[in-house]
Chain A
């Protein structure tokens, strides 16, 4: 029961993640949603998981392996998400640096219109 509840919480998080992913990449979102839904089903109806396992020629002991696989997959997914966030932070710094450098250059060349009182020089700061 503890394992079932833990997996249900993890799968619910994946389902929410799937929903948010749908806006950016529908196929990824649908795939996640399908996998998470299948996970819910097999977690709460393990008998069908066994039947499926027998159907494809694998014994009941595979249940544990499936559960472990789900957990490992979730952790890998989370790890991937965190790595993507790290990459995004680096990209953000790069884009910000380019934006500020270009604008500063434009201001020095007099291309940037000033609003209100004259702009200070960055050297004054």
Chain B
């Protein structure tokens, strides 16, 4: 990492996010960092809106899932010399104002990962069912990885170049969040958790994890463990 001015890339995986991607990019552009949108085979105008907002856009020709899109974005950012990669959700749940504290935490702690935590920070309009689901997932992840994390499925995180190079996401869908934590635990890479704010909207709740998706995550992780 450069000592004074790290090259920060904000990687946003987007699939059919045309209704909100313009606002999300307007918010993220306020940070002044490079923005890379990985359009994960969208059938709407997501890629065009992102390109018009002067973000870099790379496109999957078919829809693979958020985990796959993030790995593509990470590979691309590393190829072009990123020092720090910030992953940011496309559905408008995250706030760009949390990004500086994640980057600063990386620089000060020397950790490879600065993980956002809504449970250390703030949640707005979070349904009780979602809270219970996420708390359960966090408890399960703590049990499986031994990491003392407070939020296992938070998409806002900053990763140093060395951390990103050590990552290899094979879970194409939502299970990638658990996979990142498993890889951190296995490799002994250093992490810190930083309070952030997550604001749920009707749109983000409709797009996000339902109980069915949570079971799909467990099936994915189980299938993966059988092959290791």
Contact = CB atoms under 8 A, between A and B. Distances in A.
A and B are partners in one complex rather than unrelated chains = yes
B207 interface: no
B216 interface: yes
Interface string A70-105: 000000001001100100110110011011101110
B33 to A, nearest CB: 6
B75 A96 contact: yes
B38 A99 contact: yes
Contacts of B55: 113, 115
Interface in B6-63: 7, 29, 32-36, 38, 51, 54-62
A100 B75 contact: yes
Contacts of B51: 113
A17 B218 CA distance: 10
Using C-beta atoms within 8 Å of the partner chain, give the interface range for chain B. Answer: 35 or more
Contacts of B36: 115
A116 B71 contact: no
B68 A116 contact: no
A81 B223 CA distance: 8
A81 B33 CA distance: 41
A95 B61 contact: yes
* Chain A interface, >50% SS class: helix
B81 A124 contact: yes
Nearest to A124: B81
A78 to B, nearest CB: 7
Contacts of B54: 113-115
A122 interface: yes
A20 B80 CA distance: 38
A65 interface: no
Contact of B215 (A16, A103, A114, A124): A16
Contacts of A122: 79-80
Given A20-B219, A81-B223, A95-B61, A103 B170 contact: no
B41 to A, nearest CB: 8
Interface string B75-116: 110111100000000000000000000000000000000000
Contacts of A102: 58-59
B61 A119 contact: no
Interface in B209-228: 212, 215-216, 218-219, 223-224, 226-227
Contact of B219 (A16, A91, A92, A96): A16
Contacts of B226: 78, 82
A9 B220 CA distance: 18
A112 interface: yes
A113 B38 CA distance: 14
The 8 residue pairs across chains A and B that have the minimum distance between CB atoms: A103-B58, A20-B216, A96-B72, A120-B81, A116-B34, A115-B35, A115-B34, A99-B58
14 contacts: A20-B215, A82-B226, A85-B227, A88-B172, A95-B61, A95-B68, A96-B60, A99-B61, A103-B59, A113-B54, A113-B56, A115-B33, A119-B80, A125-B80
